[in-house]
Amino acid sequence: MPKDTDYYANPTDIPAGTLAELLLDAVEEHGDRPAYGGPGDSGLSYAEVQDHARRGAGALRRLGLGRGERAAILSENRLEWALADWSCLAAGVADVPIYSTLPPYQVAYILEDSGAALVFVSDAEQLAKVRAAAAGLTHDIRIVVFDPTAAEGDAISWPDFLAMGDDSELSECVAEARQAEPDDVATMIYTSGTTGRPKGVMLTHANLTSNVRATERAIEIGTADSSISFLPLSHVLQRMVDYLLFARGCTVTHGSIETVADDMKRLRPTLLVSVPRLYEKVYQRVQGAAGLKGRLVAWATGVGRRVALCRESGVPPGLWVRMRYAVADRLVFARIREAVGGRLRFFVSGGAALAPEINRFFLGAGVTILEGYGLTETSPVTNVNTLEHFRIGTVGRPVPGTEVRIADDGEILIRGPQVMKGYHGQEEATRAAISEDGWFSTGDIGELSEDGYLSITDRKKDLFKTSGGKYIAPQQIENMLKQCAFVEEALVIGEGRNFPAVLVAPAFERLEAWASEAGIRGERAELVADSGCQEQLQREIFASVEELAPFETPKKIGLIVEPFDVEAGTLTPTQKVRRSAVQAMYAELIETMYRPESLDKTVFVA
Ligand code: AMP
């Protein structure tokens, strides 16, 4: 196994396969076992999933969609999402997932760019969005609505859609599904760019199947496992994990981030994948206890931490620590394990950075979180901690079949069977991302330990993620803000926080003119502190970003008096904003904006 500190490989031969085969093989192996759970008896067995795929694929053909064509899915996670996906895969139709939180103009862009001839939508709200988007499309689009009560006009309800494929033969469907080639595009997933429009990441059958095969070798999963699919299926992480669980004969129930806390207690999953936000919320809730309970939690956290550190270093804790731990476990930690269902083998965290202290807290509480790393472009997993190879503060070692290299400037490069085919219709961007010899540039900066553990230390790309794992493209938002007549400079922040916020230097000429009309006078510092001026700025600023999706809309405004400046070090000589310098200069203001007690306030002043 080659290794030095700039390179680490985990060589294995992962056979190229297709997702269609993965479905068929799993049905053969697990036929009557429950594949998807649902309220009451509404879940489906593996064989029933295949039957839905037969009918769905038949219906797609009846509607004129065949191999190489595209269908979009605009829906929250639900059983029909998975069934529509399997139907597309069986028919050789590449599907294009769309976040249900996206505004109509972004939905329109994806429908247009992908050329989707059909779109599955969940309910009346998403249907209205597609109707608004469809008006500007250059091609016709059919609509299928999962919620049967929401179908109207020429939109087809999900039961009617399935009925259209009722008479298709299973043997024909299987023969058609088996025609898929590993290199065929299975899905196109749109991902944010730093500037410009989102890019359609083309993932092939082999990309996703190899990632299933690689992760199942890294982490043992069997038919006794069950999980809740609650991260958006529009993102590749939950989707790949669900394929993996399907291949292993597990049962998956669809859910949402809003209900996952209750669902965990009810469904008692054995494993769960989430973005860091969920772990942060549990941690904050536990640590937020007041009075006597608060003191007990603080004590138990300290004891748990010592035990976690012992586990990490492989040194068994002494008798005194073990005795105290038994008490802490009974009074505090056992309750945390109960709250997550009491049967959990491990959590997986991915999509954004998990704070090592939070991971360590859970380890101390007897709950293992396996942090992993990857991108949409890598289907997604490149690295993951496992029960055997586990190191907090790292994203683990490469999964089998994957090579990791650190470029001279620190950028993490990945080569392996999971690296995408390319960006749809963007050859130049594809060439910029993947070198001729197959290395994909991640845009993240990292370090490799000698034994192959990767740490993410920084970012090269001008994109960041909130702790909910949502991409924020600050430049795009800042460009929108700078079109507002009241804004001179804007800097969007929120990396690793649970929502974005913005620092704004007002365009004082405009503000002064407005203020004098409103009868408000004063120096600049006085104007930004004036409640009338603040209200006006807030109105104007929010109006300028009205088109953004809720998750990317800044929730707080921090007003600063001095514009960015080369001499102050907040601008480069070429007039580019030095983000880290601005954030350091206004660190106190930023902290205040994110304090829990600031929840009700929107405008802040430096
Ligand atoms: P996406 O394409 O949405 O999956 O986003 C991929 C990006 O998420 C990566 O390039 C990283 O910047 C970030 N990311 C994913 N996992 C982690 C992690 N464990 N730690 C830090 N950043 C992560």
At 483, is the secondary structure helix, strand, or coil? coil
Same domain, 511 and 381: no
Local structure of residue 333 (DSSP, 8 states): I
Q: pLDDT averaged over consecutive 10-residue blocks of the chain (606 residues)?
A: 74 92 97 89 92 98 96 97 98 96 91 98 98 94 97 96 97 96 97 78 98 97 97 96 98 94 96 93 88 95 97 95 98 97 97 92 98 97 97 97 95 98 96 97 95 92 88 87 90 94 95 95 95 97 94 96 88 78 95 93 95
Q: What is the pLDDT of residues 335-391, one digit of tens each?
A: 999 999 999 999 999 998 898 999 999 999 999 999 999 999 999 999 999 999 999
Same domain as 485, residue 361: no
366 — phi, psi (to 5°)? 80, 20
Q: Is the CB of 279 under 6 A from ligand 1?
A: no
User: What CATH number is attached to the domain comprising 152?
Assistant: 3.40.50.980
CA of 47 to the centre of ligand 1 (A): 35
Print the domain residue range for 524.
Answer: 464-605
Residue 418 shares a structural domain with residue 472: no
Q: Detail the DSSP E strand segments found in 426-549.
A: 440-448, 454-459, 464-465, 471-472, 487-493, 501-506
Q: How many CB atoms lie within 10 A of CB 2?
A: 8
Residue 299: inside a domain: yes
Q: Quick one: 31 and 130 in the same domain? A: yes
Ligand 1 centroid–CA 497 distance in Å is 14
Q: 504 and 419, same structural domain?
A: no
CA of 72 to the centre of ligand 1 (A): 24
Residues 468, 436 share a domain: no
- Is the minimum distance from the CB of 53 to ligand 1 under 6 angstroms? no
**pLDDT (tens digit, 9 = 90+) per residue, 192-215?**
766 668 899 999 999 999 999 999
Q: What is the pTM of this model?
A: 0.89
pLDDT of residue 586: 96
Q: What is the DSSP annotation of 293-326?
A: HHHHHHHHHHHHHHHHHHHHHTPPPPHHHHHHHH
Of 443, 459, 475, the position where a domain reaches its end is 459
375 in ligand 1 pocket by Cβ < 6 Å?
A: yes
- Residue 353 Cβ contacting ligand 1 at under 6 Å: yes
CATH of the domain at 523: 3.30.300.30
Considering the domain architecture, whether residues 468 and 448 belong to the same structural domain is answered as: no
Residue 216 lies in a domain: no
| DSSP code at position 366 | T
**pLDDT value for 419:** 98
The pLDDT score that the predictor gives to residue 272 is: 98
Mean pLDDT of the chain: 94
Q: Which of 441, 459, 477 is the last residue of a domain?
A: 459
Q: For 50-83, how does the pLDDT look when each residue is reduced to its tens digit (9 = 90+)?
A: 999 999 999 999 999 999 999 999 999 999 999 9
Dihedral sign, Cα of residue 21, residue 385, residue 255, residue 353: negative
**CA–centroid distance, residue 585 to ligand 1 (Å):** 27
288 and 363 belong to one structural domain: yes
Supply the pLDDT for residue 572: 76
Centre a 10 Å sphere on the Cβ of residue 464 and count the other Cβ atoms it contains.
Answer: 20
CA distances from 307 to 52, 316, 320, 362, 363 (A): 49, 8, 11, 11, 8
Q: What is the pLDDT of residue 578?
A: 85
| Residue-level pLDDT at 42 | 80
Q: Which residues of 487-497 are buried (b: 16+ CB within 10 A; e: fewer)?
A: bbbbbbbbbeb
Residue 282 and residue 316 in one domain: yes
Cβ partners under 8 Å of residue 403, min gap 6:
7, 8, 9, 10, 11, 414, 415, 416
Q: Is 441 in the pocket of ligand 1 (CB under 6 A)?
A: no
End residue of a domain, out of 426, 459, 492: 459
257: how many CB neighbours lie within 10 A of its CB?
16
Verify whether ligand 1 is closer than 6 Å to residue 371 (CB atom): yes
Judge if 416 and 514 occupy the same domain.
no
Query: Is residue 577, in this structure, part of any structural domain at all?
Result: yes
> Going along 11-141, which residue ranges are E strands?
34-37, 44-45, 70-74, 94-98, 118-121
Atom in ligand 1 nearest the alpha carbon of residue 463: 12
Whether residue 469 sits in one domain with residue 426: no
Q: If you measure from the C-alpha of residue 374 to the centroid of ligand 1, how many angstroms do you get, rounded to a whole number?
A: 6
Do 507 and 393 reside in the same domain of the chain?
A: no
Say which residues have a Cβ less than 8 Å from residue 463's Cβ, sequence separation at least 6: 192, 193, 194, 443, 471, 472, 473, 474
* Domain count within the chain: 3
